[in-house]
Amino acid sequence: MELKVTRYEIDDRVATLMLDRPDRLNSWTGRMHAEYRWILDQADRDPSVRVIVVTGAGRGFCSGADTSALQGHVERGGYDPGTPDDLAQPGGGVRPEFDANFAFQFGLSKPVIAAINGPAAGVGLVIACYADLRFAAKGQKLTTAHGRLNLPAEFGLSWLLPRMIGLVRANDLLLTSRVFLTDEAYDLGLLNGLFEPEELMPHTYDYARKLADSVSPASLRETRRQIYTDLHRDVSSAVRASDDLIVERMKDDDYREAVSAYMEKRKPDWKGR
């Protein structure tokens, strides 16, 4: 796919998906949605990629739906996503519950880190919330936004936010659509880290590479799928599934390598099978 509104780079096992409409604070379009899904699919399939970082170009992370797209919905008298029929299906087929917009990220095999470098509104906040981890620059504006547009909470955010920060806090953000800063988001437990703007990306990449170095690819894949699958099942099912996975993983070459590396006090050489 030709990338017109995003950028995709891989460096030292870390893939970067950058939303790239800096003059519009990376506002969301149908084209961006298609490219976003395509890049995630490519990164998830690439054995050289261990971790995925999502961020924005320039001063913004993603300021929400593009205003021209919003006006287009008015003119057409209804919602038109503006996406092609052959959208990539990253993480598809893992569980039926995950086969929906943005929820497909639960089916990915690699962790996604959102580096929130600027404002994130509406779908921009959705993107950040569906990441596994979130780091942000101080003083950036966030909002669910939908209430000011006569819309419902978008893309399952009403399911996701209460599970992330609790019902009472989520209700405040969802019902008011108020603007809040990343500083408050950190206090609410929505962020894993808060940094001065110039420190955000160095910290994010350092964290991503430590994940790639210290945790086996198979463990990352299975653990993140356990996390999101266990949100949909009872504890006994989760325990039985983890028991089965332990038996399976102990047959793997990377388990033997992990034990050898531990005994020899060296960094493991993960093969990722």
Report pLDDT for 67: 73
Residue pLDDT, tens place only, 218-235: 999 999 999 999 999 999
Higher pLDDT, 176 or 84: 176
- Superfamily for the 6-212 domain: 2-enoyl-CoA Hydratase; Chain A, domain 1 (3.90.226.10)
Residue pLDDT, tens place only, 136-174: 999 999 999 999 989 999 999 999 999 999 999 999 999
Model confidence band, residue 251 (pLDDT cutoffs 50, 70, 90): confident
In 3-state terms the chain splits into helix, strand, coil percentages (rounded to 5) of 50, 15, 35
CB-based contact 121:142 (threshold 8 Å): yes
CB-based contact 196:182 (threshold 8 Å): no
Model confidence band, residue 262 (pLDDT cutoffs 50, 70, 90): confident
Domain boundaries of the chain, sorted by first residue: 6-212, 233-264
Residue 120 has pLDDT above 60, yes or no: yes
Higher pLDDT, 82 or 28: 28
Residue pLDDT, tens place only, 27-79: 999 999 999 999 999 999 999 999 999 999 999 999 998 876 666 555 566 65
Mean pLDDT throughout 241-265?
A: 89
Positive or negative, the CA dihedral 81, 157, 122, 28 is negative
Positive or negative, the CA dihedral 210, 53, 156, 185 is positive
